[in-house]
């Protein structure tokens, strides 16, 4: 459903965002990674964290994260270990192989962005960033009609 039914800015932003997301996800998959696995590795890159905090940071349900981490762990890209201070907790950490995969992913995302925004100057890209930052996307600001 890509054809614009009107010239409304909201539709334009939504559709361009969707297509941009599809292009980015394709780039995330270059290392053979599921997009959500790549996103998880990005969250883990700065440092290890508990599985619960990771789920909160990614705004996914903890039960969904289980499958993602199972996959990452089976591929040797991340590791879970028990927290000695609280044995209920899992400390999740990216591995060296995971960091390597992330570097390849990062290169691919950079390439995708050059494709997406190649017609814009650096200054124009900065303007776009500034305008997008000022779009109000507070989910609490509206009543959900669906």
Partner DNA sequence: TATTGTTATACTCTATAACTATA
Partner DNA sequence: TATAGTTATAGAGTATAACAATA
By beta-carbon proximity to DNA, the closer residue of 83 and 111 is 83
Place of tokens 């270990």: 81
Counting Cβ atoms within 10 Å, is residue 27 exposed (0-12), middle (13-18) or buried (19+)? buried
Please answer whether residues 72 and 37 qualify as being in contact, where contact means their C-beta atoms are separated by less than 8 angstroms.
yes
Nearest Cα residue to 60 out of 29, 39, 89, 32 = 39
Site residues for DNA, 78-137, by CB under 7 A, read: 80, 86-90
* Nearest distance, CB of residue 78 and its own copies, angstroms: 15
Helices (H), the chain: 9-28, 35-44, 51-58, 62-74, 96-117, 122-133
CB under 5 to 8 A by kind: which of DNA, its own copies, none does 135 bind?
its own copies
Site residues for its own copies, 91-130, by CB under 8 A, read: 108-109, 112-113, 115-120, 124-125, 127-129
For 112, how many CA atoms within 13 A lie in the half-sphere containing its CB?
A: 18
CB under 5 to 8 A by kind: which of its own copies, DNA, none does 95 bind?
none
By beta-carbon proximity to its own copies, the closer residue of 86 and 119 is 119
Q: Which residues bind its own copies (CB under 8 A)?
A: 1-3, 5-6, 8-30, 34-36, 39, 42-43, 57-60, 108-109, 112-113, 115-120, 124-125, 127-129, 131-137, 139, 141-146
């Amino acid at each position: 459903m890509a054809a614009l039914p009107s010239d409304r800015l909201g539709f334009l932003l939504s559709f361009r965002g969707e297509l941009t997301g599809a292009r980015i996800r394709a780039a995330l998959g270059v290392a053979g990674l599921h997009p959500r696995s790549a996103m998880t590795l990005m969250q883990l890159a700065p440092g290890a964290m508990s599985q619960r905090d990771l789920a909160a940071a990614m705004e996914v349900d903890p039960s969904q994260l289980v499958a993602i981490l199972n996959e990452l762990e089976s591929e040797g890209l991340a590791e879970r270990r028990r927290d000695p201070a609280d044995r209920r907790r899992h400390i999740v950490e990216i591995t060296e192989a995971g960091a390597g995969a992330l570097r390849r992913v990062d290169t691919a995302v950079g390439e995708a962005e050059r494709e997406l925004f190649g017609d814009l100057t650096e200054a124009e890209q900065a303007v776009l960033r500034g305008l997008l930052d000022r779009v109000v996307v507070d989910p609490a600001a509206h009543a959900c009609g669906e």
